[in-house]
Amino acid sequence: MNPLTGKAALVTGGSRGIGAATVLRLAREGADVAFTFTSSHHRAEALAEQVRELGRTAVALQADSTDPAQVRGAVDDAAARLGRLDILVNSAGVMIPGAIEKLSVDDIDRTFALNVRAVFLTAQEALRYLPEGGRIIILGSNVADYTPFPGMALYASSKSALHGLTRGLARELGPRGINTVLVQPGPTDTDANPADGPQAHRMRDLTPLGRYGRPDDIAAMIAHLAGEGGRHITGTTITIDGGLNT
C-alpha cells in the first residue's frame, strides 16, 4: 500500500512548477488530489489527466488567490469533491522584484494578498475539514533568511511572515493533532526561475552544491511530511536550497 492511500490533498497553485510536482508526487504516493490554478485550463487539465493515469482522483479548481471568497471556495470545493481533506499544501505565490522606491502600493498589496493572506485564509477554511493527523504544509522561500541580491525586500518580507504564521498555527493546532510545517525552497528549476536563466550562474556560484534544485526535490519532502514520516514534525522550517543559506 502506498503511504498516502486513502488521503485527500489540496495543493494551491498546483498547475505548474513545484506545485505541479507536488500534485504528482502526492498522487504517486496514493493520495487523491485537488489543485488550484489561475488561468491555464489546458495546463491544468493535462496535469489532472496525469493524476488520473496514476489511478487517483484529480480535481482542477480555477481560483484567484487574491480573492478571499475564491480562496475559501476552493477549499470547500476540494473537500466536497474528494469527500474529505487530510493535507493542505499552500504553494500559490508571487514574486514582484524591484528597488523599494519603485514598488507601488498595488505591488505590496498583491504580494501580501497572495503570499500571506491567502495562506492564512486557506488554512482557516481547511480547519473545517482537517482531521486529527491532518497536515498544513506551507511553501516559503530561502530568501526569508538570506536575501542575496537587491530588489527582493518585498518578496522576502512576505515570505518572512510565514515563519510566524507557521509557528502560531503549530502551537494552536497541535492539540487538535494537526501539524504545520514551512518548507523553504532555494533556487529551483522551474519555468519561472529556469536553471539556464540569465542570472542562474550567480545563484549556482553561491550554492555549495553548485546546482539548482528540481521541483521533485521539494515535492519529495512535502510527501514525506504529509505521511507517517512527518507525524512528529510541526512548527518548524525545512530549507531545501543546496546549502545556499549556509
Q: What is the pLDDT of residue 148?
A: 86
Q: Are 48 and 59 in contact (CB under 8 A)?
A: yes
CA distance 14 to 91: 7
Choose, from 129, 146, 155, 212, the residue flagged as catalytic: 155
Rounded to an integer, the average pLDDT of 104-122 is 98
Decide if 146 is catalytic: no
What rounded mean pLDDT belongs to the chain? Answer: 96
Q: How many CB atoms lie within 10 A of CB 54?
A: 16
What pLDDT is attached to residue 156?
A: 97
Task: Tell me the mean pLDDT in the region 213-242.
Answer: 98
pLDDT score at 151 = 94
Is residue 1's pLDDT more than 80? no
Over residues 214-231, mean pLDDT? 98
pLDDT tens digits along 53-107: 999 999 999 999 999 999 999 999 999 999 999 999 999 999 999 999 999 999 9
Query: Do 240 and 222 meet the contact criterion of CB atoms below 8 Å apart?
Result: no
Spatial contact of 230 and 182, defined as CB atoms under 8 Å apart: no
Structural domains in the chain, sorted by start: 8-240 (3.40.50.720)
What pairs with residue 9 in β-bridges? 33, 87
Mean pLDDT of 118-130: 98
Is a pLDDT exceeding 90 seen at residue 6? yes
Instruction: Give pLDDT, residue 202.
Output: 87
Say if CB 176 and CB 231 are below 8 A apart: no
In DSSP terms, which residues pair with 236 in a beta bridge?
181
pLDDT at 26 over 90: yes
Q: What pLDDT does residue 203 have?
A: 87
For residue 200, name the pLDDT band (cuts at 50, 70, 90): confident
